[in-house]
Structure 1
């Protein structure tokens, strides 16, 4: 498996989200926006149902989501930030009657099936190519993008390690996709 990169440019992230909104495919927009804002693996994103993220009794999105990670079997609790909720709200408003058991990112083929990992990769890669993102992109790029921008905003690596459920910091450091430009920025910042 080839290593994929995060999307390092915030402008390119905005371009990507605007492109998907402009294309009128709210499901694809919501998939990318949700992935960028939750740092979940694509397998966990695709397994989400509406009852996982929406409280039908209160008629509102949950503040926190609880899942069991498919890859690790570990429990994970994460906050739905405003951008994730906004994307999900757009998707819910566009969808016809949503049931709790419905998959959030539903395939157009078959009855209540999530899109496949292959389709998710296709959506992400094609959209990134359309807006000129040249890095090696895959589904994990969304997760890595969250980590990269968190790190750039000063979130300590041990916190990111916990967020990603990594067993050691070296894995987390690989995720961050630190480039020579990032290293150069340190030299520009620290002029003694």
Structure 2
């Protein structure tokens, strides 16, 4: 079962490393850690969904519901820079492996195709992070769970978080972000007959 990254400094460290290493993967992580989108929705984003926008509107694959996410200014700025000069119909996160190559109109160079990065590639990215940063139980869900955990850590508002994550109950949200496990472990650590 996927775990959130509980240490906010670890999230910052991961983002810092990937900012220098790989622009696309950095932006996948940045958007994932900051929006609570499921990976299935994340990989389907197009440039037009985010370019020049503060509100991200997404039809969730899992629920079929439309959701709106207000993005923090730091993410809006990073997305503007990442999308500069790109066509609105392009997938935000392009696949490198499966992108078809084709000649442009002049026939003198190849341009990239428009195939989104796969969920499997995002899973591989998360496994690379797990190994490199000494983490455990990391998967695609870690992005969303980390958002949930860190949001709760900052605001302590389970009702709002439940709405953001589109959960049916506060208990479901507590379990999802690993809060129930933390509460149980805390109580077991402090249990004493003395």
User: Under a length normalisation based on structure 2, what TM-score does the superposition of the two structures give?
Assistant: 0.82
1:155 Cα offset (Å): 3.5
Q: Structure 2: which 5+ residue stretches go unaligned?
A: 100-112
Answering whether residue 22 of structure 2 is matched by residue 21 of structure 1, we say no
1:127 Cα offset (Å): 2.4
Query: Partners in 1 of 2:47 and 2:11 — Cα distance?
Result: 26
Q: Which has the larger radius of gyration?
A: 2
Is the contact made by 1:16 and 1:127 (CA closer than 8 Å) also made in structure 2? yes
Query: Partners in 1 of 2:78 and 2:185 — Cα distance?
Result: 33
Q: Which residue of 2 aligns with 1:88?
A: 79
Spell out the pairing of 1:122-137 with structure 2 (5 A cutoff): 122-132=124-134, 134-137=135-138
Equivalent pairs counted in the alignment come to: 174
Query: Partners in 2 of 1:112 and 1:62 — Cα distance?
Result: 21
Q: Which residue of 1 aligns with 2:168?
A: 167
Is the contact made by 2:54 and 2:76 (CA closer than 8 Å) also made in structure 1? no
1:90 Cα offset (Å): 4.2
> Compared with structure 1, are the counterparts of its residues 182 and 100 closer, same or farther at alpha carbon in structure 2 (3 Å cutoff)?
farther
- C-alpha RMSD over aligned residues: 2.2
1:49 Cα offset (Å): 0.4
Displacement over 6 Å in runs of 4+: none
Counterpart secondary structure, 1:37:
helix
Residues 39-77 of structure 1: CA deviation (Å, up to 9, x unaligned): 0000111111011111xxxxxx21101111110001100
User: Under a length normalisation based on structure 1, what TM-score does the superposition of the two structures give?
Assistant: 0.83
Answering whether residue 39 of structure 2 is matched by residue 42 of structure 1, we say yes
